[in-house]
């Protein structure tokens, strides 16, 4: 009689795979080590997943990347035309969207850490740059509405790209370094506050310098 599969065993294997993929990448994560971390045997792992590709698809589902990018877009768009996010009331859609993004990041910590740091050699190896590019485009759209006097020439666009590459890298650092959900939440809130203040300063200074600015 075939052995009945148990959902808690399958979930333990998927959870262990996410942790290994986030810390060592896919190539550096032997199935035997994942099975041992899940508290089962390699033979039992193969009863649930035919190979590493099948396990990878279960651990890092394709829908997850789009869900994060959608949350980030909704968060930026919720800011509307506000120049100072810190002046918005606590129940403003921006803060509610920020809370959803933060909760998602905490829930999917290992998956996001893999996507942002260990995705080389997988279909997601450009994810870090893709997210930074998304945020740059959203920031440009926001700036055109809120700072119409700001020239968005080549120099300012390069600066925004650098800002968002660093921002996404900082998110990856937080996911790697902060272990508890509380610490993750506090660190991401602090990063967001710093980023918003810095971005406002950037737009304000660039707009003020507009007549003298040269954008080759």
Q: Is 116 helix (H, G, I), strand (E, B) or coil?
A: helix
For residues 147 and 208, the answer to whether their CB atoms sit within 8 Å is no
Distance CA 140, CA 147 (A): 10
Tell me the per-residue pLDDT of 138-163, one tens digit each, with 9 for 90 and over. Answer: 999 999 899 888 877 888 899 999 99
Q: 200: alpha, beta or left, given left = phi > 0 and alpha = psi -120 to 50?
A: alpha
The model's pTM? 0.88
Strand segments (E) across the chain: none
Distance CA 19, CA 23 (A): 6
Which CATH number is correct for 7-58, 3.20.19.10, 3.30.565.10, 2.40.50.100, 1.10.10.60?
1.10.10.60
Tell me the per-residue pLDDT of 59-116, one tens digit each, with 9 for 90 and over. Answer: 999 999 999 999 999 999 999 999 899 999 999 999 999 999 999 999 999 999 999 9
Q: Mean pLDDT, to the nearest integer, of 169-191?
A: 94
CB neighbourhood size of 145 (10 A): 10
Residue 214 has pLDDT above 50, yes or no: no
Which of 22, 9, 35, 12 has the alpha carbon at shortest distance from 64?
22
C-alpha torsion 113→200→74→117, nearest 10: -10
């Amino acid at each position: 009689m075939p052995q009945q599969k148990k959902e808690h065993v399958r979930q333990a294997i998927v959870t262990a795979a996410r942790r290994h993929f986030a810390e060592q990448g896919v190539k550096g994560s032997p199935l035997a080590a994942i099975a041992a971390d899940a508290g089962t045997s390699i033979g039992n792992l193969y009863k649930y997943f035919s190979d590493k590709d099948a396990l990878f698809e279960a651990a890092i589902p394709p829908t997850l990347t789009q869900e994060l990018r959608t949350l980030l877009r909704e968060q930026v768009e919720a800011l509307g035309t506000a120049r100072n996010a810190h002046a918005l009331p606590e129940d403003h859609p921006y803060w509610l969207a920020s809370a959803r993004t933060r909760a998602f990041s905490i829930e999917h910590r290992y998956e996001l850490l893999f996507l942002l740091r260990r995705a080389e050699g997988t279909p997601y190896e450009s994810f870090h740059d893709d997210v930074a590019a998304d945020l740059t485009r959203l920031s440009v759209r926001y700036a055109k509405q809120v700072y119409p006097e700001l020239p968005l020439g080549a120099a300012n666009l390069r600066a925004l790209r650098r800002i968002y590459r660093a921002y996404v890298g900082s998110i990856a650092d937080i996911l790697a370094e902060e272990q508890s959900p509380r610490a993750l939440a506090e660190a991401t809130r602090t990063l967001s506050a710093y980023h918003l203040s810095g971005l406002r300063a950037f737009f304000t200074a660039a707009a003020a310098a507009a007549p003298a600015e040269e954008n080759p």
